[in-house]
């Protein structure tokens, strides 16, 4: 009887949630349709700035097999014997190519490793039950074990990738005491992401745990219809991407298109499979594992997906970390404010190298060792103008 009542309550909550989302979604779509001419003009306007080097990473391709047999697409750039490796972990609904502006600008730091998370990009499909933060953390561990078996590592994770980094810290803290000498967490969350997406009442009533799995199953069952409705490549899809992923930055339309193409390439079934794990994430306890590791946290103050409060919560648990809050920037911070992100990573590498002696490379892979790292700042929060707050 109890289970039956719970099922009824859950179904009512699901209908209420679906109804609310439907009303707000219809209103948003109606507004976008009404201004579709303006959207088309924004999308097709000629860029008044220098072209941005967008495109694939173009690195050496290898494959790492996950614990459940999923092949993970890996790309590597830079000298294979570089004394330092930067390992990038991308976010939800994109792929490794989302780091292309970091790869282009930070190539002098040494070797870089990128990989497509399971069911994303060129990696293999995953069973829905394995689309969890724990499994993503294990995938990351296997990439480290097979592609970076020795030497120091700086980990950079965006959004879901940051959650995977925290998951790795929870399960393999020994890596952060030995191999991983720096961590960058971009636009990510350690807990209570559902509060931002569904409101405070969601957590108090337990609606997330009761409703989201059902919504996820429903999305997978109706994926064909939803794929049609999302309008891949349309002006509407482009504008939704711009509004959700970016802030007030006057970006070249090509940047939005680049992201919209990656998001559109992610099947609805994949989006649905990961939703429960993302909304119910709880890795705040794992943040403590980073207390002895140089860390930088970067977030936009108008991030709709992982609001700035989530980054502040992580920073509060890591008083020695640097927190960079970018005014008027959104969720895709590495594409919207690449210069800020790249400089934050450089400062992180500088702090990490101040504590770790690297072996001399056999090639010219690390000119920065001789030139020295400059521009380091003390830990603390920085405003959009670059001054310590």
Helix (H, G, I), strand (E, B) or coil at 87: strand
17-43 pLDDT, tens per residue? 344 434 444 444 555 555 565 555 555
Positive or negative, the CA dihedral 74, 78, 83, 87 is: negative
Question: Is the CB of residue 284 less than 8 Å from the CB of residue 311?
Answer: no
207-225 pLDDT, tens per residue? 444 544 544 444 445 545 4
> Could you give the CA distance from residue 363 to residue 159 in angstroms, rounded to a whole number?
34
* pLDDT above 90: percentage of residues in the chain: 54
Domain positions in the chain are 2-41+194-278, 60-191+281-382
Q: How many other CB atoms sit within 10 Å of the CB of residue 158? A: 30
> Could you give the CA distance from residue 113 to residue 138 in angstroms, rounded to a whole number?
16
pLDDT score at 324: 98
pLDDT-derived band of residue 10, with 50, 70 and 90 as boundaries? very low
pLDDT score at 240: 87
Question: Is the CB of residue 208 less than 8 Å from the CB of residue 279?
Answer: yes
Question: Is the CB of residue 56 less than 8 Å from the CB of residue 258?
Answer: no
205, with CB counted inside 10 A (0-12, 13-18, 19+), is middle
pLDDT score at 375: 40
Radius of gyration of the chain (CA): 21
Q: Which residues contact 329 (CB under 8 A, 6 or more apart)?
A: 246, 247, 248, 249, 299, 300, 301, 302, 303, 336, 337, 340, 384
pLDDT-derived band of residue 276, with 50, 70 and 90 as boundaries? confident
Domain 60-191+281-382 falls under CATH 3.40.50.1820: yes
What are the CB-based long-range contacts (under 8 Å, 24+) for 314-321? Answer: 314/185, 314/188, 314/190, 314/284, 314/287, 315/381, 317/190, 317/284, 317/287, 317/288, 318/287, 318/290, 318/291, 319/379, 320/291, 320/294, 320/295, 320/379, 321/290, 321/294, 321/295, 321/296, 321/297, 321/379
Question: Is the CB of residue 356 less than 8 Å from the CB of residue 153?
Answer: no
Q: How far is CA 226 from the centre of its chain?
A: 24
For residues 363-370, give the mean pLDDT: 46
Per-residue DSSP letter, 282: B
Does 308 have pLDDT greater than 50?
A: yes
326-338 pLDDT, tens per residue? 999 999 999 999 9
């Amino acid at each position: 009887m109890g289970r039956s009542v719970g099922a009824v309550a859950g179904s009512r909550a699901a209908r209420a949630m679906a109804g609310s989302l439907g009303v707000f979604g219809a209103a948003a779509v109606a507004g976008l349709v009404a201004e579709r001419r303006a959207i088309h003009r924004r999308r097709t306007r000629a860029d008044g700035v220098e072209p941005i080097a967008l495109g694939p990473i173009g690195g050496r391709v290898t494959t790492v097999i996950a614990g459940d047999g999923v092949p993970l697409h890996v790309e590597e750039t830079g000298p294979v014997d570089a004394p330092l490796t930067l390992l990038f972990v991308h976010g939800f609904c994109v792929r490794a190519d989302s780091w292309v502006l970091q790869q282009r600008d930070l190539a002098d730091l040494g070797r870089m490793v990128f990989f497509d998370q399971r069911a994303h990009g060129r990696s293999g499909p995953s069973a829905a039950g394995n689309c969890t933060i724990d499994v993503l953390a294990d995938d990351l561990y296997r990439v480290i074990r097979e592609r970076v078996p020795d030497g120091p590592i700086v980990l950079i994770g965006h959004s879901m990738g940051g959650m995977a980094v925290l998951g790795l810290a929870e399960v393999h803290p020994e890596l952060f005491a030995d191999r991983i000498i720096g961590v960058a967490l971009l636009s990510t969350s350690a807990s209570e992401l559902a509060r931002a997406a569904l409101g405070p009442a969601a957590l108090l009533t337990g609606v997330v745990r009761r409703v989201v799995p059902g919504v996820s199953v429903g999305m997978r069952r109706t994926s064909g219809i939803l794929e049609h409705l999302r309008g891949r490549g349309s002006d509407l899809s482009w504008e939704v991407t711009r509004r959700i992923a970016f802030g007030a930055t006057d970006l070249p339309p090509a940047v939005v298109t680049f992201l919209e193409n990656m998001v559109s390439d992610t099947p609805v079934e994949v989006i649905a499979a990961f939703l429960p794990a993302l909304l119910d994430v709880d890795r705040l306890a794992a943040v403590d594992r980073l207390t002895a590791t140089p860390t930088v946290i970067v977030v936009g103050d108008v991030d709709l997906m992982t609001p700035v409060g989530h980054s502040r919560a992580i920073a509060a648990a890591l008083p020695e970390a640097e927190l960079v809050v970018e005014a008027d920037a959104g969720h895709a911070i590495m594409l919207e404010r690449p210069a800020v992100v790249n400089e934050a990573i450089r400062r992180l590498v500088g702090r990490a190298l101040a504590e770790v002696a690297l072996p001399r490379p056999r090639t010219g892979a690390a000119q920065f060792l001789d030139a020295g790292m400059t521009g380091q700042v003390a830990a603390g929060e920085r405003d959009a103008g670059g001054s310590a707050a």
